[in-house]
């Protein structure tokens, strides 16, 4: 994105694997590279979602901070993901609400159980399923490169 003049900020949460099995999720700030553990299967005293224990401290210090930074300094805000795990942090939930109201382009992954919470927001949804998973990246990039996203701003 940098090579075409876009500043992208926010947070991504890739999975962590041990011996080929998902053991949790990392959290990475796209602008600074700061990272931490969002959740893991190792009991940590944090709230539990499914088999994972959520690190709300990392959600606050990395996740919420990354999104706030992106709202002020990026052309595109990325939130991967808005789900039950991430909403265990009040600070993260609050900054997500801000991002939805902000006049800034937003690319967010929303857990299927939460899509109804955002019905009042003007959004374009793309359902990700095993049969279309490989094409989703191209679909999203095409949306941002075409006139279907007229509000997209490029950095100077």
What's the CATH number where 46 sits? 3.40.50.300
Evaluate whether residue 154 is within a structural domain: no
- Contact between 117 and 125 under an 8 Å Cβ cutoff? The reply is no
Rounded to whole angstroms, the Cα distance separating 94 from 121 reads 15
Evaluate whether residue 140 is within a structural domain: yes
Evaluate whether residue 128 is within a structural domain: yes
> CA gyration radius for the chain?
16
Per-residue pLDDT at 151: 45
Domain holding 8, by residue range, is 2-145
Q: What is the DSSP string of 80-93?
A: EEESTTGGGSHHHH
Evaluate whether residue 26 is within a structural domain: yes
Evaluate whether residue 60 is within a structural domain: yes
Per-residue pLDDT at 37: 96
Report cis status (omega within 30 of 0) of the bond before 32: no
Evaluate whether residue 68 is within a structural domain: yes
- Contact between 42 and 53 under an 8 Å Cβ cutoff? The reply is yes
Per the structure, the count of domains in the chain is 1
Evaluate whether residue 156 is within a structural domain: no
Per-10-residue mean pLDDT of the chain, 156 residues long, equals 75 95 96 96 94 95 96 92 92 92 83 69 70 78 58 39
Evaluate whether residue 153 is within a structural domain: no
């Amino acid at each position: 994105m940098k090579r075409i003049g876009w500043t992208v900020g926010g947070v991504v949460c890739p999975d962590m694997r041990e011996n080929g099995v998902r053991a949790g999720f990392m959290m990475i700030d796209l602008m600074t590279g700061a990272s931490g553990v969002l959740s893991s299967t190792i009991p940590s005293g944090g709230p539990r979602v499914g088999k994972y224990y959520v690190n709300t401290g990392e959600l606050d210090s990395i996740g919420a901070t990354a999104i706030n930074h992106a709202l002020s300094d990026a052309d595109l805000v990325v939130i991967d993901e808005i789900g039950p795990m991430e909403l265990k942090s009040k600070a993260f939930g609050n900054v997500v609400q801000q991002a939805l109201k902000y006049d800034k382009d937003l690319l967010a992954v929303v857990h299927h159980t939460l899509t109804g919470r955002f019905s009042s927001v003007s959004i374009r949804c793309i359902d990700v399923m095993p049969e279309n998973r490989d094409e989703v990246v191209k679909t999203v990039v095409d949306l941002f490169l075409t006139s279907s996203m007229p509000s997209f701003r490029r950095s100077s």
